[in-house]
Amino acid sequence: MFSIGDLARRTGVKVPTIRYYEQMGLVAPEGRTEGNQRRYGREGLERLAFIRHARALGLPLEAIRELIGMDPNDHARTHALAERHLANIRARIARLQGLETELERISASCAGQRGDPCTVLDAFGDHAGCVEDH
């Protein structure tokens, strides 16, 4: 059995985050000591490692909850969730690439001459001057 501190050290997940995941119903202690300290078993350690890796892949907690509740043999549902997440990531990448293009244009718009007003400041303050919607 592991204490919450042991679990935190082994997984790299902070104690308050473990408590939050417990409140969210994603992980549960397998018991408590006489002093009422949480105790987790191998299953809790593996569950927390799963959650940590899924979060590192950018999955939201609701998707993780869905994955945890899925039948391990339900390939269609797990693949569909992965495909939805991939589509969301690709959409975010496209938005970020648009922002990159716009910020490059804004940055290049100012010659940086002393005494001239900075057009970068103007661009940040006026959405109408943007080429792309963001």
Q: What is the pLDDT of residues 99-114, one digit of tens each?
A: 999 899 888 887 777 8
What is the pTM assigned to this prediction? 0.77
Start-to-end CA distance of the chain, whole Å, equals 50
Is residue 14 scored above 90 in pLDDT? Answer: yes
Does residue 134 register a pLDDT over 80? no
- Contact between 41 and 62 under an 8 Å Cβ cutoff? The reply is no
pLDDT tens-digit map of 22-39: 999 999 888 888 888 889
**In terms of CATH architecture, what is 2-69?**
Orthogonal Bundle (1.10)
List CB contacts of 24: < 8 A, sequence separation 6 or more. Answer: 61, 65
- Mean pLDDT of the 37-59 span: 94
DSSP character at residue 109: T
Among 62, 78, 80, residue whose Cα is nearest residue 70? 78
Residue 119 and residue 109 in contact, taking contact as beta carbons nearer than 8 Å: yes
